[in-house]
Amino acid sequence: MKKLPILCLALLCNGAGAIVSAQTIEKTIKVSIENPWKSSKTDEPVVINLHTLNTGFVVKSATVKDGNHELPSQLDDLDFDLRADELAFVVDMPAQSVKTIHITLSSSKSDKTYPARVFAEMLFRTAYPNQYAHGTMVYAPGNSDTYTILQHHGIAFESELVAYRIYFNEKQTTDLYGKFHKGLEIEESMFYPTDEQLKRGFGDDVILVRSSCGAGTFKGWNGTSATDIQPVAFRGQRLIASGPVRTIADAEVKGWEYQGKELNMINRYTLYAGHRDAQVDVLFDQPLDNETFSTGVQNIGYNATMFSDHEGLVASWGTDWPVNDTIKYKKETVGLATYIPKEYIRKETKDKENFLYTVSAPQAKSFRYYTMFTSRKETFGYPDSNSWFSYAQEWKKSLEQPCKVSIEE
């Protein structure tokens, strides 16, 4: 008699397991994408919030089709609950065109892969020389010396055009890696190419950020100059996505003592395939009051050429040593640009290190701006300040004319 309940339980488990593994739930939606702008858009990002679709199941894979052509896509879990929150892909949109994209969402995992067009990594240093452990997040008390904990001193991420890293310390500055040729290099070079890799045409660090905001780093503001993100109770970094379509990297602080408040803040950097510009989302856990912050571009070598349209776009072009070793390395010329939507701007200003805008967002819990750079070593880039500043103005216009996305379930 005692064996019967055990036998029944085993049968029930096996039966339930068979049902779950055999059953796949799918949902197909149509997404209309309209480019109302006069110019075509290449690799236009499209992001679908899965929580708005009411699928009734956990989405574990997706197929995105533009006609008969499948577009590479990725599902991203933004809050580490092991459930996808967003579907992302990029699409080419001719001028003043409309496309209908068909998306099939599934409850079953897929083993298909797409060619990687972006890459990101967080590497922990170990007790063994030149051996590293891959990670996804790290946190430390705010008074800790965190600069040397991670290889390349923080998360590194790249597209085929450019690479960035975010310093894991009070600066939180974006440092920049310029390339001669399009391609992914960081997994192999780890931001520090060897002599052999340099001979093969690898890129390298192209800017000495000093105490500046580099390209578009979010900073505090003391009334006369940009300030670092300190003091804080805790500081962290998280690698959310590493491709194949986009990378997402967070620089987070908790308990930032700033202008009489204690702020919990995330600076989220998103880089898409085919892009040199990074999208920067500044996220707070509570609505802001009238706190004033700053961002912009570095005054490279303290004598950069600067351009501003006085309405949210600021850019610079300059030449400086990228590192303190002036024997092995040569001076690098780079162009920087940052664009902040007009509603967040308070005034245009500068300090010794930077060309800046001060920004605020009363009653908001988040806001978004963009930053980018070029290196003159690029065989595919911009040779002088005039061409760079011209491109920056077109870039701003493109950002202000986003594609319109609507969903039909």
Q: Which pLDDT value is given to residue 324? A: 81
CB of 240 closer than 8 Å to CB of 76 = yes
Dist. CA 6–CA 80, nearest whole Å: 37
Give the dihedral sign, CA 51/56/60/66: negative
Q: What is the 3-state secondary structure (H, E, C) of 31-52?
A: EEEEECCCCCEEEEEEEEEHHH
Measured distance CA(43)–CA(273) in Å, rounded: 7
Per-residue confidence (pLDDT) for residue 408, from 0 to 100: 85
Rounded CA gap, 322 and 345, in Å? 30
| 196, containing H or E segment | helix 195-199
Q: For the chain of 409 residues, list the mean pLDDT of each consecutive stretch of 10.
A: 32 33 86 97 98 95 97 98 97 98 97 97 94 97 96 97 98 98 98 96 96 98 98 98 98 98 98 98 98 98 98 98 83 98 98 98 98 98 98 98 92
pLDDT, position 16: 33
At 22 the pLDDT is 54
The number of residues in the chain equals: 409
* pTM to 2 decimal places: 0.93
pLDDT at 135: 97
The first and second tokens of residue 59, run together, are 């989405």
Each residue's pLDDT tens digit, 352-386: 999 999 999 999 999 999 999 999 999 999 999 99
pLDDT at 8: 30
Contact of 123 with 151, CB cutoff 8 Å: yes
Q: Residue 232: how many CB atoms within 10 A of its CB?
A: 23
Kindly give the pairing relationship between strand 204-205 and strand 73-76. Answer: unpaired
